[in-house]
Structure 1
Amino acid sequence: MVMQLQQIGVDRGSVAIVDDVSLPVLAGKVTMLLGPNGAGKSTLLKVMAGLETPARGQIELQQDNPLSWSRQRWAANVSFLPQLSALSFPLTVKEVVALGAMAQGNSVRAQRQQLQQALQLWDIDYLAEQQVRWLSGGEQQRVQLARSWLQAQHGQLWLLDEPLSALDLRHQQQCLQRAREYVQQGRAAVMVIHDLNLAWQCADYVALLCCGRLVCAGEPTEVLTSERLTDVFQVPVEVERGVVRWC
């Protein structure tokens, strides 16, 4: 196990955005957080990234309490891709991706090699000298994915909030493949997605949230049932032979 969340609670004023959520983050597994808008998925991911301090509950990471860690130690162990990564500065693609290597403290030569590898793996090497702010939405997303992937290489946990947004089919597959390769090294990846069919096909473990609470967690075949999805999403859902359909 890479991380353990125990009875996590996050409040906004008098409202509990996340309430009493306990969840293991398992080594060697791609975990997907599912649920309707406002379910608490992004907030929970920020708790895992150390960007949101819970009002209640405990976190265990590498057999330690990371809530007392420095920002540098968090960055060296956990990589986080937020849902929105707006960039208005005139930075080039290679400059943004290179930020992912800064937390690791490697030599300049090693960082250059890692940068080139990231550019090639995410199919953006031909964009290296272009300013990120002038790219298409899908190209910008691949730049941010490459940056977060590079940061994750020396850590144990890669967190991705809606990483497939703006990506075409080829690059969705590429992103999921990179996540699979990452966890095969004994690490963990957690991502928020909305495509239930992709979750069924690609997740090792899913957590279904609603109204800030954990409804169910486990393997997709256990969690993604017609009755449960109909109840959570408030629309008729049918699951048959691994295919999720709206009725």
Structure 2
Amino acid sequence: MLRADNLSVRRGPCTVLSGIDLALQPGEVLGVLGPNGAGKSTLLGALCGELAPSEGRVTLDERGLDAWPGQERARRLAVLPQSSTLSFAFPVQEVVAMGRLPHDSGRVRDAEIVEAALQAADAEHLRGRSYLALSGGERQRVHLARVLAQLWPGGAGQVLLLDEPTSALDPLHQHTTLQAVRDFAGQGAAVLVILHDLNLAARYCDRILLLQNGRPHALGSPDEVLQAEPLRQVFGLDVLIQRHPERGHPLIIAR
């Protein structure tokens, strides 16, 4: 599985991420929280091989990321960046089908997977529309479908990394997106998702990594991490912690 051991990243003379020891687990959704500039996107960039560590290493099944052939790694590891740019008027289903490029599963099977991924991302009604005609939130859901299609149907040994997948979404689609991610992990994949909404993290994540100034402040279950004092120290926010009346997870209320 994907591991980071004593991971540090420098940008010029500055260390922007340090002291990260992390192992993603099959069937788990790991949420990463922290204020702007805490190192969340840098962590994701290092975990997917986009950024080279200055110290430590990242391994997938005990092999360094650079030891994996490109297509083989793409069948195991998919990444949804904070913003995905595409300047051509491809139909939506063709954008999602790009996720199948590392595979050799045939046109019929690929079409079935594209359809299933669109449904999982609540984007099947966008099929046939031009990507450039979509709103920002619709584009975000199409790209979610693309990375789901890349690993579909998910399973042990596969890793999905998501950088703020709910940032452009309305409240309903924030929940449908994270439920799709939750269901994908339920098939055995390991998922890391960067979020800003504390209550969404409390509801959908199994574990939470709280970052502050590029270092881990806390790592544990939502009950362990989402407490008043750590949140005050990291975000400077005074909160009340209650229990969700139906689901029982922490409910964070700003004072």
User: Structure 1 length normalisation: TM-score?
Assistant: 0.94
Secondary structure, aligned partner of 1:104: coil
Show the 5 A alignment for 1:14-29: 14-29=13-28
Match of 1:200 in 2: 202
Match of 1:45 in 2: 44
Give the 3 Å change call, closer, same or farther, for CA 124–197 of structure 1 in structure 2. Answer: closer
User: Percent identical across equivalent pairs?
Assistant: 39
Match of 1:125 in 2: 124
8 Å contact from structure 2 (residues 122, 176) kept in 1: no
Match of 2:247 in 1: none
Residue deviations 1:119-156 (CA, integer Å, cap 9, x gap): 23323233222111111111111101100111122661
Show the 5 A alignment for 1:98-109: 98-109=97-108
Greater Cα offset, 23-32 or 163-172: 163-172
- Rounded to whole Å, the distance in 1 between the matches of 2:123 and 2:230 is 40
- Rounded to whole Å, the distance in 2 between the matches of 1:235 and 1:125 is 39
Match of 2:151 in 1: 152
- Equivalent residue letter for 2:176: Q
Show the 5 A alignment for 1:106-185: 106-153=105-152, 156-185=158-187
Extract structure 1 runs of 4+ deviating beyond 3 A.
none
Greater Cα offset, 117-126 or 191-200: 117-126
Greater Cα offset, 81-90 or 207-216: 81-90
Give RMSD over aligned pairs: 1.5
8 Å contact from structure 2 (residues 131, 139) kept in 1: yes
Stretches of structure 1 lacking an aligned partner (at least 5 in a row):
none
Greater Cα offset, 10-19 or 230-239: 230-239
1:180 offset after TM fit, Å? 1.6
Greater Cα offset, 131-140 or 176-185: 176-185
Figure out how many residues of one structure are paired with residues of the other and give that number: 246
Match of 2:192 in 1: 190
Secondary structure, aligned partner of 2:176: helix
1:236 offset after TM fit, Å? 2.1
Stretches of structure 2 lacking an aligned partner (at least 5 in a row):
244-249
Residue deviations 1:73-125 (CA, integer Å, cap 9, x gap): 22111010000012211211111000011112211221122112222332323
1:47 offset after TM fit, Å? 1.5
